[in-house]
A and B are shown apart, each in its own frame.
Chain A
Amino acid sequence: MTERSDRVTLREGFALLGRGIVHEPLVFTIAILGSAVFGAATVFTSIVIGQVTDKVIVPAFQEGRPETGALVGAVAAIVGVGTLKAGGIVVRRFYAGVWMQRLQARYRRRVTRQYLRLPLSWHHRHPTGRLLSNANADVEASWWPMAPLPMAVGVLVMLVVAVISMLLADPVLAAIGLLVFPTILLINVFYQRRISPLATRAQALRAELSAVAHESFDGALVVKALGREADETNRFAEVADRLREANVRVGKVRGAFDPILEAMPNLGVLAVLLVGVARIDAGLLEPGTLVQIAYLLTIVAFPIRAIGWVLGELPRAVVGLRRVDAVLQATGALPYGNARPAPSEEPTELRVQRVSYAYEGADGTLSDVNIDVEPGRTVAVVGPTGSGKSTLASLLIRLVDPSTGAILVDGTDARDLAPGVLADNAALVFQQAFIFEDTVRDNVTLGRDIGDDDVWAALRLAQAEGFVAALPGGLDSMIGERGTTLSGGQRQRLALARALVGRPRLLVLDDATSAVDPDVEQRILAGLREAALPSTVVVVAYRRATIALADEVVYVENGRVAARGTHEELLVTSPGYLKLLTAYERDAAERAALAEDEEYAT
């Protein structure tokens, strides 16, 4: 990790809490009011118990007869304060939850808006797993401290009221309380400081373990094929053991502090009893007050922990929010113009003018590429693996912008077109077909207003009609993770249908049928040829039959257009093209020659 994740200042923590309050002032206020009621009621409970002792219980014992009115009053006071406290807890807990959930939802929406707004070049620079965890785990961690925060504020109210009530009851015993409360608070803060890095480490190891398991199970076939099960198990066991150690370390700290925190109020009560009895002896104190203060110490001790919870969660939250903010503050967008050419049913004219494209130290760079495609023509882009063909395809429908040069669609620079215009007129089918978690119909229409007849027609053209019709729900079948799993070839055909159904005026196929059986591909290509689509077509391919569809071939090598012309011309003019296209033939010919030689020899 390259971020400044280890140093988290308290100020940053408070800034985070402040942001949470600013976003939802009303919910925060309600939660805090509920918590204040809870805090005050907690202290009142002990006052009521003390008063009941002095005014009801002790007199009754001394006089040997109960006074009904006093008993009724005692019941009313105890139940009343108890109900008030319970009400405070309900409001506090519920609105604390509402607050946290609203903040999480708000930030998830904001982060994903950014994802959808930022250009693909930004996406390329950030690993998928990282972006997913930004929108999920990091957002969650950011607002986690909001759940105990109202309680912590309520506890502060409670402490103030407690100290005042103790001071009013007996200043000497109050001094014990003033000693015990801050001690518990300090131990809590110290505890959270100790445990927070250990817990973070355990969390990181859990993520690491999960990554190892994921990778190992993803590669299960390779592990099996090479018989590496034992090595993989050792790799996993090693991380599992480190996680065990980390968990034990967390447990040890918690296991030590919990009993100490529990013992503190008990020690306080013992001190109160010792000093209190002496003061009763001296005639300075009533027994009820002693009971009240002892009772207060026992019931206040536990809630004080809430302050520790908030402080303990803050560092993790701040780190999470930093990551989230990095996404929210990311700049850069694909700027759009406002050109809206008149709607047309005619194929587009496409010009690639002196286009170069480079991204940091990776394959697929292009330099000074010029291609003109007349409306309705089909151009094949051919080249060895890693020569920049896919980059070119992405440029054509403006998934990315060229570093220099321009792509002109019907004479307009693609960058000047208004948002959505290009998507309405052009479609790209990728080699890796992305399937949405949705029905077959919606995967084809993507929400566009298209009737079922047209969907079926597109599926037919993409040779997907058969398997879709065989699905139990037809067009309504859910596909994707939680639905039917499709094979690679089926996914490609569905993605093709998705493109065709919009009757694009520019169709770009990036090795879009690589996972489809050859004879099925033949049928798809034949269908495309006969369908009289209103399309200018750019097709990236290796296969001869696909290339045969094209009016013209552009041969790309190392990011440059090495040759262009018809297939027959290129076979003559471009040695690289010839070598690539005739690899199988030459291979077969050489073998045949070799076989004949052998026959002569024998």
Chain B
Amino acid sequence: MSTASTLGDGRSGGSWRTIRRGLALSPEIRQGLGITLGFALLATAGRLIIPIAVQQTIDRGLTGDSGIDLDFVRWMCLVALGAVIVTAWAAFMMNVRLFRASEAGLATLRTKAFRHVHDLSVLTQSTERRGSLVARVTTDVDTLSQFVQWGGILMIVSIGQLIVATVIMAVYSWQLTLLVWICFLPLFLLLRHFQRMVSAAYSVVRERVGIMLGAISESVVGAPAVRAYAIEKRTQDRIDQAVENHRSAAVRAQKLVAFTFSTGEVIAAIANSAVVVVGVLLGVAGDITLGRLLAFLFLVTLFVGPVQVGTEVLNEAQNAVAGWRRVLGVLDTSADVADPGPDGSALPRGPIDVRFEGVSYAYPAGPTVLHNVSVDIPPRSRIAVVGETGSGKTTFAKLLTRLMDPSSGRVLIDGVDLRDIRFDSLRDRVVMVPQEGFLFDDTLGSNIRYGRPGASDDEVKLALTELGLADWLDGLPAGLDTPVGQRGESLSAGERQLVALARAYLADPDLLVLDEATSAVDPATEVRLARALEGITRGRTAVTIAHRLSTAEAADEVLVFDAGRLVQRGAHRELVEQGGVYGRLHAAWINQSR
């Protein structure tokens, strides 16, 4: 099921809490923030230069006591010029400091979150959709970064602008200040409401983008199926519908933005005309000078910008905080299979023995899939684990390699509880090869070397030779330099499994766990591989999970699982004589393969 997310989803907790926690996790952002805000204050104060200069020119340069005073205007312009330059410099400093600090903080944040995703248990990882995990360390952080670069600065400047404009307006005339605020206040109060509407409209757009991308991908990823059933028209209709739904949602959102954006202009016009009427009345009464009244007309324009972009900035801010919360949600998810770290035990090298003591496993709020398993696996033994799909054999392997922890009971390696062993020591000595041989988009050589970074080409080749895969390597066009493609898709499923096996073998573990690791290779190759593995696993402990029972025939001991219980154990021949579950499985196998 892919429905519910176990990670924080960005809905709970207040915005301020998120911001505080976010800042605590990215200390770089807070460093020198005081100085940056100082520059911000200086930069916004610069917005007042022109209205003040206009007012001074008219009141003291044009209509002062001594008539027109050109000298005063020259000096005033020179001072204003200096102020313009200083404030531009302050704005530059603010921008650069803000970008540096926030980008450094966000890079740290996403790296921390990335690491934490890998530290989450397999169970948590597999319940999350890949795309949503990726989004938390990419687009969610990008939203934040872009907000800082655009909306954040605009927000700081806008708020500063409103404050300084109000202050200077109040100095000029409290009556007109009140008037301007009365005109704009309803709009400021409505901004939040507009923003909610716009935000709702855009979330519909985002949802439809997702559906549209899904529909488009059917024409690409599903191309063979579409072709095989000649359902091109049906597929195109579905795409057209999704594209159209997306378009209409986007246009609807656009309509809202267009209207909210333009209301600022109308309000500004109303404010200006009110200022003219009331200002003239005040001027006639001698309460305001001509210059101050005209300066108001310039000051009102400082209100328009914040109103126009307010909806969009608020919307961005909300998205950014939600993104931040989602990233923090990853970090807040506990890694329930945790590394004991440096306090944990390290195991010396050498053959490994394993002991399961009354081990049960149940998925959180789910059924118990493994019941009270107790078993000893002596050092150097080769164990085969068999059973039908859903019998619990893969769970057994995951508990054995501590990809999961038992719900009750314990798993001991060399007498030490798995939960007390340091991960670097554990992963060094215990390696599992999963069924899906995942490869990285790199060369064949680097993929095998993933098991032991620093291994030379000769060592890699030797490993392949020991596995009996030298012929296969020779048949590849560029040998170890052959690119494997995304997810290894240039190779066949069987070949990917060969690489995964070689990779684990090169890692040279003391306990090797194979989970249907050769299920996709042809029988002849599989038998050859099995033989090679027998040779090289001598001296190590090896646990193999397989539904092809050929593996079981060769094992020292077979563990048979059925419905989450260990029902039979013993050598292949004993078990065949016993009959039971193994007898049934074996009969099906013989019937199928001979």
Q: Is the CB of B594 within 8 A of A585?
A: yes
Q: Which of A109, A128, A273, A521 has the most CB of B within 10 A?
A: A273
Any chain B CB within 8 A of the CB of A218? yes
Q: Is B218 in the interface zone, CB < 8 Å from A?
A: yes
**Could you say which residues of chain B place their CB within 8 Å of the CB of A232?**
114, 118
Size of the chain A interface, CB-CB below 8 angstroms: 160
Instruction: Report if B29 contacts A (CB, 8 A).
Output: no
Closest B residue to A237 by beta carbon equals B111
CB nearest to A282 among chain B residues: B68
B254 lies within 8 A of A428 (CB): no
Is B220 an interface residue when CB atoms closer than 8 A count as contact? yes
**Contact between B593 and A585, CB atoms less than 8 A apart:** yes
Partner of A86, one of B214, B221, B263: B263
Interchain CA distance A71-B280 in the complex, whole Å: 9
A523 CB → nearest B CB, Å: 11
User: Is B569 located at the chain interface by the 8 A CB criterion?
Assistant: no
Whether B54 lies near A273 (C-beta < 8 A) is yes
Does A61 make an interface contact (CB < 8 A)?
A: yes
Q: How far is the CB of A55 from chain B (nearest CB, A)?
A: 11
Do B251 and A98 have beta carbons less than 8 Å apart? yes
A227, A485, A517: which contacts B2 (Cβ < 8 A)? A485
Asked if B219 contacts A251 (CB within 8 A), the reply is: no
Contact A446–B523 (Cβ < 8 Å): no
B262 near A277 (CB under 8 angstroms)? no
Q: List 10 A-B contacts (CB under 8 A).
A: A52-B276, A105-B244, A123-B223, A136-B216, A254-B95, A266-B84, A277-B70, A544-B593, A584-B550, A587-B554
Q: Is A352 interfacial (CB-CB < 8 Å)?
A: no
What's the Cα separation between A283 and B398 when bound, in Å?
Answer: 93
- Say yes or no for A522: interface residue by CB 8 A criterion: yes
CA distance A273 to B495 in the complex (A): 79
CA distance A482 to B214 in the complex (A): 9
Q: Are A447 and B234 in contact (CB under 8 A)?
A: yes
A227-B492 in contact (CB<8A): no
Q: Which residues of B contact A280 (CB under 8 A)?
A: 62, 68
Q: Is A532 an interface residue (CB 8 A)?
A: no
Any chain B CB within 8 A of the CB of A104? yes
B-side contacts of A229, CB under 8 Å? 115, 118-119
Interface centre among B43, B213, B225, B494 (most CB of A within 10 A): B225
Closest to A419 in B: B230
Contact, CB under 8 Å: B88 / A262? yes
> With A49-B297, A262-B91 as given contacts, are A543 and B593 in contact (CB-CB < 8 Å)?
yes
B438 at the interface (CB under 8 A from A): yes
CB atoms of B522 and A542 under 8 A apart: yes
A206 CB to nearest B CB, Å: 6
Contacts of B246 in A (CB 8 A): 105
Q: Which residues of A contact B521 (CB under 8 A)?
A: 385
Verify A295–B222 contact, CB threshold 8 A: no
Least Cβ–Cβ distance between A179 and chain B, in angstroms: 16
Given A82-B266, A93-B254, A273-B57, 13 more contacts at CB 8 Å?
A: A71-B280, A89-B265, A97-B257, A101-B251, A214-B130, A219-B440, A222-B500, A244-B103, A259-B88, A266-B84, A273-B61, A294-B298, A585-B593
- For chain A, residues 504 to 562, give those with C-beta under 8 angstroms from any C-beta of chain B: 514, 517-519, 521-522, 542-545
Query: Which residue from chain A places its CB closest to the CB of B90 in the assembled complex?
Result: A259
Q: Which of A72-80, A156-164, A182-190, A407-415 contacts B (4 or more CB under 8 A)?
A: A72-80
Q: From the candidates A83, A120, A251, name the one contacting B149 in the complex (CB within 8 A).
A: A251
- Whole-angstrom distance between the Cβ of A32 and the nearest chain B Cβ: 15
Q: Is A256 an interface residue (CB 8 A)?
A: yes
Interface flag for B192 (CB, 8 Å): no
- Assess the A584–B134 pair: CB atoms within 8 A: no
Nearest B residue to A71 by beta-carbon distance? B277
B contact residues around A224 at 8 Å (CB): 118, 122, 403, 427
Q: B592 interface residue, CB < 8 Å from A?
A: yes
Flag if B492 contacts A217 (CB, 8 Å): no
Q: Knowing A277-B73, A280-B62, A485-B1 touch, does A223 contact B53 (C-beta < 8 A)?
A: no
Is the beta-carbon distance between B492 and A226 smaller than 8 angstroms? no
The residue on A at minimum CB distance from B255 is: A94
Instruction: Considering the complex, give the chain A residue whose CB is closest to the CB of B209.
Output: A136
Q: Is A65 an interface residue (CB 8 A)?
A: yes
B313 within 8 A of A: no
Q: Which residues in window 72-118 of A have CB below 8 A to B?
A: 74-75, 78-79, 81-83, 85-87, 89-90, 93-94, 97-98, 101-102, 104-105, 108-109, 112-113, 115-117
Structural contact, A583 and B524, CB atoms closer than 8 A: yes
- With both beta carbons as reference points, the residue of chain B lying nearest to A67 in the complex is identified as B280
Residues of chain A from 543 to 602 with CB closer than 8 A to chain B in the complex: 543-545, 579-588, 591
Q: Which residues of A contact B68 (CB under 8 A)?
A: 277, 280-281
Q: Which residues of A contact B526 (CB under 8 A)?
A: 583
B265 to A, closest residue via Cβ? A86
Query: Judging by beta carbons under 8 Å apart, are B230 and A93 in contact?
Result: no
Of A169-177, A342-350, A429-437, the stretch lying at the interface with chain B is A429-437
Q: Is B203 an interface residue (CB 8 A)?
A: no
Q: What residues of chain A lie closer than 8 Å to B370, measured between beta carbons?
A: none
- Known contacts: A226-B431, A240-B110. The answer to whether A420 contacts B216 by CB under 8 A is no
Quick check: B2 and A581 within 8 Å, CB to CB? no
Is residue A270 contacting chain B, with contact meaning CB distance below 8 A? yes
In the complex, whether B433 has a CB less than 8 A from a CB of chain A is yes
Q: Which of B173-181, B267-275, B321-329, B343-351 contacts A (4 or more CB under 8 A)?
A: B267-275
- A128-B220, A266-B84 are contacts. A221–B236 as well, Cβ < 8 Å? no
A270 / chain B contacts, CB cutoff of 8 Å:
50, 53, 77, 80-81, 84
Partner of A273, one of B73, B244, B262, B436: B73
Chain B residues contacting A66 (CB-CB under 8 Å) are: 280-281, 284
Q: Which of B88, B236, B453 has the most CB of A within 10 A?
A: B88
Mask, B395-414, CB within 8 Å of A = 1, is 00000010100000000000
In the complex, are the beta carbons of B230 and A420 less than 8 A apart? yes
Residue from the set A135, A217, A236, A361 with the largest chain B CB neighbour count within 10 Å: A217
How far is B141's CA from A209's CA once the two chains are assembled, in angstroms?
12
B281 proximity list for chain A (CB < 8 A):
66
Cβ 8 A contact of A436, one of B73, B84, B129, B222? B222
* Cβ–Cβ contact A256 & B259, under 8 A: no
Residues of B within 8 A of A120 (CB): 223-224, 227
Structural contact, A251 and B134, CB atoms closer than 8 A: no
Of B254, B273, B550, the residue contacting A74 (CB under 8 A) is B273
Contacts of B162 in A (CB 8 A): none
Check B89 for interface membership: any CB of A closer than 8 A.
yes
A82: chain B residues at CB < 8 Å are 265-266, 268-270, 272
Return chain B residues, CB-CB under 8 Å to A502. 229
Q: A341: CB under 8 A from chain B?
A: no
Q: A93-B257, A229-B118 are in contact. Are A210 and B251 (CB under 8 A)?
A: no
Determine which of B265, B268, B283 lies in contact with A61 in the assembled complex, contact meaning CB atoms within 8 Å: B283
At the interface, yes or no: B525 with Cβ under 8 Å from chain A? Answer: yes
Asked whether B149 lies within 8 Å of A250 as measured between CB atoms, the reply is: yes
Q: Which of A89, A386, A420 counts the most B-chain CB atoms under 10 A from its CB?
A: A89
Complex Cα–Cα for A436 and B301 (A):
54
Judged by a CB distance under 8 angstroms, whether A225 is at the interface is: yes
Q: Which residues of A contact B117 (CB under 8 A)?
A: 217, 220
Chain A residues with CB below 8 A from B353, complex form: none
Judged by a CB distance under 8 angstroms, whether A326 is at the interface is no
Give the shortest distance, in Å, between A558 (CB) and chain B (any CB).
11
Q: For A117, give the chain B residue with the smallest CB separation.
A: B232
A225 and B107 contact, Cβ closer than 8 Å, known pairs A385-B494, A545-B591: no
Q: Is A260 within 8 A of B88, CB to CB?
A: yes
**Chain B CB within 8 A of A476 CB:** no
Task: Bits for A245-284, please: 1 = Cβ < 8 Å to B, else 0.
Answer: 0011011101110111011001101110110011011000
Give the 3 A-B CB pairs with smallest separation, nearest first: A82-B269, A227-B427, A255-B95
CB-CB under 8 A for A206 and B273, given A248-B103, A423-B228, A434-B222? no
| Contact among B134, B215, B522 with A385 in the assembled complex (CB-CB below 8 Å) | B522
User: Are B229 and A423 in touch, CB under 8 angstroms?
Assistant: yes
B231 and A446 contacting across the interface, CB-CB below 8 Å: yes
Chain B: CB-nearest residue to A242: B107
